[in-house]
Chains A and B, each alone.
Chain A
Amino acid sequence: MNRTSEHYKMRKFFSIVYKEYLQLIRDLPGLTILFLMPAVMLVVITLTQEKVLIGRESGMKIIIVNADASHLGNRIESELKANISFKLVTYTSQKEAEHDVFSGKYQMMVVIPEGSTERLLTPARLRIQDTSGGKKTDEQAGIIVMYDPAVMKIYKDMLVSSLQLIIESTAQRLFMEKYSEELKSDIAQQIANYKKQMLLIDLDDEIPDFPYRKQVMQQIQSAVEKKAEEPVNIKFPVNPLSYRNLVKIEETSAGNSSYDLKPDIIKNNVPAFILFAMFFIVLPLAGSIIHEKQQGTKDRVLILPVSGFTIFSGKILVYLIICILQFLLMIGIGRFIIPLISHLPPLTLNVDLLALVVIVIASGLAAIGFGLLIGTFSNTYGQAAPLGSVIVVILAIMGGIFVPAFMMPDIIRKISIISPMRWGTDAFFSIFARGAGVKIVLPQLLPLLIFFGISLLLSANAFSKQK
């Protein structure tokens, strides 16, 4: 008896699934929203971000006035020329350059004053001076960077950090050359002074460390011994780089150290738009519930010998399959389409598959729960469609779909924790970029499932309730 009853229940369940499937595949606008819209948005936004953030296509136009015409000036010029983010235009007159930047013809300019290379070798190191906003330039200051006030901060930072790197590396090279010369002459002098002394070779332990110190000292020792034909005590000149405050950048990251930790646009955008696509099922799902209410089929369904949970389960299964298809579509775009039409690398999929499957299902269920809530508690499609869309867009903004959460101001980032999309994107990002497993994404997985459970309970209860 029980088995027969279960059998009937399953049959009814699959009939509901089939009915939902037929309704959905015949809803062309709904399918467009579910698949085409997020796919187009993923491609367009990713390509735009590639252009803006990497500048591969357009490049920022920069004037260079190289009055130094020595090591540093030439190095800066050649390095900036090689940088794909910039398009370099050479000017000889600083005044003309300034005019063209303030008139908006070019966005930024770099002036390398005469004698910059020499100044680099003096103890007061060359510095970069920001002369924006009409500040007076200090000719003794060194490199001058001037920019159009309309230029985004990201470009200024990019240029300044590039210049810092070039100056540091040029300084290092010049110091090494100078040091090498000093070393040579000083040692030669010492050899002459101590040539006749019979002393044991005793290399000073206090000698500041530098790369290949041991090998250099051994070579010097053997060369000196050979020439002097007697033991010599050698004093090494101090390495000038050892006391210079060179920039040291240290990158640390949490997570799986064997994993590729470099964040990139694809790893951020694909998960983001998976969530965005999933939550847009609010429109067809809420639409189907509201149509049932408006057409009277809900009343008819309520008197059918089938529970509200079975009716909702049929909907949930169909829409969950849709969520999985959306996920596969977005992954396919990230892995195959975007690399084909851009210079971005394909999305890597060497991830924890179990964690990925679990989060796809949990995110899909949370999106479905949201759709059920909106559909159940709205009276007309005219109410549900704008309400659903607006909430999805707000949740998407708060969830870091358009702007990654780490770039948001503190207050917004704190508020964004209430967005189920944030839970989903955080989990996906952990899986894709940090190689996280199920245990790591539990803090996101549980809220997603709880949100779904509460939504289902509220919706099924309200749907089945007598008027």
Chain B
Amino acid sequence: MNPDPVIATKNLKKRYRGSEEEALKGIDLTIQAGDFFGLLGPNAAGKSTLIAILCGIMGHSSGEVKIFGRTTNLPTDWLKHMIGFVPQEIALYASLTVLENILFFGRMYGISGNKLKEKAESYIETFHLNEHKNKLISKCSGGIKRRVNLIAGVLHEPSLVLLDEPTLGVDTQLRSMIFDYLIMLNRNGTTILYTTHYMEEASKLCNRVGIIDHGKIIAEGKPTELVASSSGYKDMGQLFLHLTGRDLRD
């Protein structure tokens, strides 16, 4: 067992170049191995910034970030193998087919030959992509793109998966399929950090949640405990509105 938490941040701050306001204002967050952590927050609360820093895509202004006990400023190949990232955008090559995209990202993680083919076929089967595997991504529907976007981030079986709103704009059927898959992944020992706007998703999937707003974690704990500890709120949705307010965001 790794004694270090999977994710540990201390007083993490981020200020974008040219901006006067900090996007993250001192985040302290600890996520243990096996957690399914939901990061909830309104638009522009700092969710995607936090995820980008945790992945190593973005640097931070001050504070400390450790993933599996290691810093993310100059992530090593080992750390990159341990992390899977599913971005909010469809980060795929539009002029490659579904299968070509999956094979490319697999190869980049060092998977090759029959092992890669079998893995790719298995994911294509799991996400019902058989009919579409030879379609160019540019010709695929939003739902197919979302599925391939997810596969590209988890194909190498990382120990930590960071998902930035993976169900954005998908229908109920696909959302349910993604939930089932993520639950299965978590049961198999993968730690998951999941950002979403949808409170019911977080309540259903996550064993712990954190609510972030204006660059600060304003609440953290088990969903049921958070609701119970608040006076007069029946569910996460009401609690969320109470904590973040009703003002419209960017």
Give A contacts to B, CB under 8 Å.
Answer: 8, 11-12, 15, 19, 22-23, 26-27, 291, 295-297, 299-306, 466-467
Shortest distance in angstroms between A178's beta carbon and chain B's nearest beta carbon?
81
A22–B97 Cα gap in the complex (Å)? 10
Minimal Cβ-Cβ distance residue in A for B94: A295
10 intermolecular pairs with C-beta atoms under 8 Å apart: A8-B110, A19-B96, A19-B104, A295-B92, A295-B94, A296-B89, A299-B55, A303-B56, A305-B110, A466-B58
Which of B25-33, B78-86, B123-131 sits within the interface?
A: B78-86
- Cβ of A15 and Cβ of B92 under 8 Å apart? no
A11–B110 Cα gap in the complex (Å)? 8
Most buried by A among B87, B90, B94, B110: B110
Instruction: Check if B62 is an interface residue, CB within 8 A of chain A.
Output: no
- Cβ of B57 and Cβ of A299 under 8 Å apart? yes
In the complex, chain B residues whose CB is within 8 Å of the CB of A466: 56-59, 73
Minimal Cβ-Cβ distance residue in B for A291: B94
In the complex, chain A residues whose CB is within 8 Å of the CB of B100: 19, 22
- Cβ of A23 and Cβ of B93 under 8 Å apart? yes
5 further A-B contacts with Cβ under 8 Å, apart from A296-B88, A300-B153, are A11-B110, A303-B55, A305-B81, A466-B73, A467-B57
Minimal Cβ-Cβ distance residue in B for A300: B91
Instruction: Check if B122 is an interface residue, CB within 8 A of chain A.
Output: no
Given contacts A299-B87, A304-B108, contact A467 B59 (CB under 8 A): yes
- Cβ of B56 and Cβ of A305 under 8 Å apart? no
- Cβ of A299 and Cβ of B52 under 8 Å apart? yes
Minimal Cβ-Cβ distance residue in A for B103: A15
A424–B106 Cα gap in the complex (Å)? 40
Minimal Cβ-Cβ distance residue in B for A11: B112
Shortest distance in angstroms between A318's beta carbon and chain B's nearest beta carbon?
13
| Interface range, B side | 20 to 34
In the complex, chain A residues whose CB is within 8 Å of the CB of B89: 295-296
A8–B100 Cα gap in the complex (Å)? 19
In the complex, chain B residues whose CB is within 8 Å of the CB of A23: 93, 95-96
A198–B73 Cα gap in the complex (Å)? 115
A372–B109 Cα gap in the complex (Å)? 25
Given contacts A22-B100, A467-B58, contact A12 B92 (CB under 8 A): no
Most buried by A among B77, B85, B93, B112: B93
In the complex, chain A residues whose CB is within 8 Å of the CB of B109: 304-305
- Cβ of B80 and Cβ of A305 under 8 Å apart? yes
Minimal Cβ-Cβ distance residue in B for A292: B93
* Interface SS, A side: helix
Shortest distance in angstroms between A18's beta carbon and chain B's nearest beta carbon?
8
In the complex, chain A residues whose CB is within 8 Å of the CB of B73: 466
- Cβ of A297 and Cβ of B91 under 8 Å apart? yes
Instruction: Check if B75 is an interface residue, CB within 8 A of chain A.
Output: yes
Shortest distance in angstroms between A293's beta carbon and chain B's nearest beta carbon?
11
Shortest distance in angstroms between B232's beta carbon and chain A's nearest beta carbon?
41
Minimal Cβ-Cβ distance residue in A for B73: A466
Shortest distance in angstroms between A1's beta carbon and chain B's nearest beta carbon?
13
- Cβ of A300 and Cβ of B85 under 8 Å apart? yes
Minimal Cβ-Cβ distance residue in B for A27: B95
In the complex, chain A residues whose CB is within 8 Å of the CB of B136: 26
In the complex, chain A residues whose CB is within 8 Å of the CB of B95: 22-23, 26-27
Name the one of B81, B87, B93, B108 contacting A12, with C-beta atoms under 8 angstroms: B108
In the complex, chain B residues whose CB is within 8 Å of the CB of A467: 52, 57-59
Most buried by B among A12, A15, A305: A305
A12–B88 Cα gap in the complex (Å)? 25
A342–B85 Cα gap in the complex (Å)? 60
In the complex, chain A residues whose CB is within 8 Å of the CB of B58: 466-467
Shortest distance in angstroms between A462's beta carbon and chain B's nearest beta carbon?
14
Shortest distance in angstroms between B101's beta carbon and chain A's nearest beta carbon?
9
Instruction: Check if B107 is an interface residue, CB within 8 A of chain A.
Output: yes
Shortest distance in angstroms between A106's beta carbon and chain B's nearest beta carbon?
58
- Cβ of A305 and Cβ of B77 under 8 Å apart? yes
- Cβ of B83 and Cβ of A303 under 8 Å apart? yes
- Cβ of A297 and Cβ of B92 under 8 Å apart? yes
Given contacts A19-B104, A305-B80, contact A12 B110 (CB under 8 A): yes
Name the one of A26, A295, A296, A305 contacting B108, with C-beta atoms under 8 angstroms: A305
- Cβ of B90 and Cβ of A295 under 8 Å apart? yes
Given contacts A22-B96, A304-B80, A466-B58, contact A299 B108 (CB under 8 A): no
A317–B155 Cα gap in the complex (Å)? 27
Instruction: Check if B152 is an interface residue, CB within 8 A of chain A.
Output: yes
- Cβ of B80 and Cβ of A303 under 8 Å apart? yes
Given contacts A299-B52, A467-B57, contact A306 B96 (CB under 8 A): no
Minimal Cβ-Cβ distance residue in A for B104: A19
In the complex, chain B residues whose CB is within 8 Å of the CB of A305: 77, 80-81, 108-110
In the complex, chain B residues whose CB is within 8 Å of the CB of A8: 110
A453–B80 Cα gap in the complex (Å)? 28
- Cβ of A300 and Cβ of B87 under 8 Å apart? yes
Shortest distance in angstroms between B75's beta carbon and chain A's nearest beta carbon?
7
A12–B112 Cα gap in the complex (Å)? 10
A302–B77 Cα gap in the complex (Å)? 11
Name the one of B80, B93, B112 contacting A19, with C-beta atoms under 8 angstroms: B93
Shortest distance in angstroms between B9's beta carbon and chain A's nearest beta carbon?
16
In the complex, chain A residues whose CB is within 8 Å of the CB of B92: 295, 297
A291–B83 Cα gap in the complex (Å)? 24
- Cβ of A296 and Cβ of B96 under 8 Å apart? no
A8–B109 Cα gap in the complex (Å)? 9
Shortest distance in angstroms between B19's beta carbon and chain A's nearest beta carbon?
12
Minimal Cβ-Cβ distance residue in B for A20: B93
Name the one of B59, B81, B83, B87 contacting A296, with C-beta atoms under 8 angstroms: B87
